[in-house]
Chain A
Amino acid sequence: MAQTYLQHTREQSAALKPSRKRRWGGAAPYLFIFPWIFGFIVFTLGPLLFSLIISFFDWPIVGKVTFIGVDNYVQMFTNDPMFWKSLFVTLKFAALFVPLNIIIALGLAMLLNQKVRGSAIFRTAFYLPSVISGVALAMIWSWVYSGDYGILNYFLSLFGIQGPDWLNDTKWSLVAMVVASLWGQGSMMLIFLAGLKGIPKDLYESASIDGAGKIRQFFSVTIPMITPTILFNLITSIIAAFQQLTLALLLTGGGPLKSTYFYAMYMYENAFKYFKMGYSAANAWFMFLIVLVLTFLVFKSSEAWVFYEGEMKKNSQKKLKAGKGGQTG
């Protein structure tokens, strides 16, 4: 993503260089971007480096600060069942949440992309939950999931099913969390919708001339054309899954039996409940590394499955030419 934009600006600057470089230079541009530079140093870079430093210390919020080298990290990996437990819960959550999130968002976007009356109303309906705060969402879901009088169990009872006490049942609590998280994800649907609207109609036309049915069209036109959007949504979903905290704090508090005790929650509690700032910083850095590695792997793999429009156009033109050739010959 970044590369393409950079290329874009580079082309522009190349075009500008000979005539305007001097006129646009000087101190002025730095004054314009100064707010960001200052904010970056004070609120991002400084804290980022500082958190790395803290992670090598025993650093309570009040009291004596002691340098302990890599002890926090050693402790984390060798002598902390809660660390592994919360990491495992988060990975399980991500494994459920990320694919479902993408499939559902894409499915809804495809439905909305049909020519229907009142599409603005449907779009609003799907997006509404994303507008509401996580706290309000959690309150609503704690009520929906109630074992005794929740609407979810009411609906199941209509089919003669006795539903569990969702949030207090270790078998279902994490699934319940996934569903509640999916409900507030309308923005991903909108991003997919924008991607779908960007697919040129003539691709579908030429595909159907070639005799491709709807399903074939979906896999050979729609999916390849929105792979950049899928990549974007995949990465943001992974990051979102690892940072899930609000819902867990409010819906289950990590329970029952730590079945929804997310990694982010463990980090939060280490810092602001047990005041182990150094240890929590080490946790945070490890999470950062996991997310970075996952993102890197996704980017790496994307070379194999993401198609950018430039390449697509060339290919489809080739295809068109080949098709025309076939027809006339």
Chain B
Amino acid sequence: MRSATAHQSDLKNGIFVTPFLLVFSCLLVIPLLWGAWLSLTKADLFGPGKFVGLANYSRLFADKVFLGSIVNTLYFVLLTVPAFAVCGLALALALNRQTRFATVMRAIFFASSVLSVTVVTLIWRIVFIPDIGLLSNIFGWLGLPQVAFLSSPKLAMPAIAIATLWWGIGLPMMLFLAALQQIPGEIYEAAALDNAKRWKTLWHITLPAIRRTFVLVLIVQCVLQFQLFGQAQLMTQGGPNNASRPVVLYVYEVAFRRFDVGMGAATSQVLFALILMAALVQYVVARRKEESR
């Protein structure tokens, strides 16, 4: 049986978390529940909705464009998330030194993260645009034919993925750098005394030491990249032939351009479920691996 003092202490502790819980409820829990309710209604932005049950969901799963947007989004996640993890780690390993050059390079690689999506897409449109773009000029110097990245159904999504990687590489790099700097130097010194080669050190010391950060990067990037929107809207408008239309762009078009907020909310619920599943799978797999050690 717990004493009255302990209960009092619990209540006092509760005061500390109340502001967070309030903000969390107002900005996340209530909108989430409201979104779930909206998905069961036929509603627009300017009036009360009408309950229609699962009608929005049945319309949604009969829509080829929506199903295509799911495939596009998964493809984009596959293109970007492993690339963020591998490139972020490679950059962090390369720049994990106390030299002025490494400091400047870290700042340069992180700098793109502070740009807005509008600036990023402007820059990359100039890179990809045929005839006068940077890549077009390089292809011309090499005597190679022009490639229309943004109007090719096969290349549009990889082009958006490259722009996104350039934009967002700073965060995983910094997370990996922070993790690398937590590894005690003595372990590396011991490995050096044992004549361990660089690859062996990486494989047996560095990677196991930062595995939690690795999982964190994968989960964070998964959640972020499932929400691809601005780059696709500004670089390709979801085209050509719906080849680069992600789920969030679909939500935006349905809810704000067609005033079909109920259908937009239903799409958002599906996206939420997808992100949740992807994050949970990674988390569970990582935990199991850890427990089996």
Partners in one complex: no
Q: B-contacting residues of A (Cβ < 8 Å)? A: none
